[in-house]
Amino acid sequence: MSELDPLIHAPARLRVMSLLAAVEEAEFAFVRDEVGVSDSVLSKHAAALESGGYVEIRKGHVGKRPRTWLRLSAAGRRAYEAHVEALRAIVARSGLSLTVD
């Protein structure tokens, strides 16, 4: 059985990774709102995921306003997919199935 990734397993980080897996790139405020956390909480989780090589953080401006974008790195995508497979393996032991529609 594959191991769960402790860097991804925290609920907010798993939600961030799941959201980023579905898009090319997402603006910080969008991720914050979708995950339902504060700026500081998302910033800490994003920094941890970046330190682990799972998320790339890009800073720039839209007009004169600073903006931050997040995206999964290639390693982050692989780690997320492996984590999901580990979750599926755990759930499968109960006789249930985890499917994505």
Whether the pLDDT of residue 44 is over 80: the answer is: yes
6-92 topology per CATH: Arc Repressor Mutant, subunit A (1.10.10)
Concatenated DSSP letters for 51-77? Answer: HTTSEEEEEEEETTEEEEEEEE-HHHH
Section 55-62 average pLDDT: 95
pLDDT band per the 50, 70, 90 thresholds, residue 95: confident
Section 68-83 average pLDDT: 97
pLDDT tens-digit series, residues 13-30 = 999 999 999 999 999 999
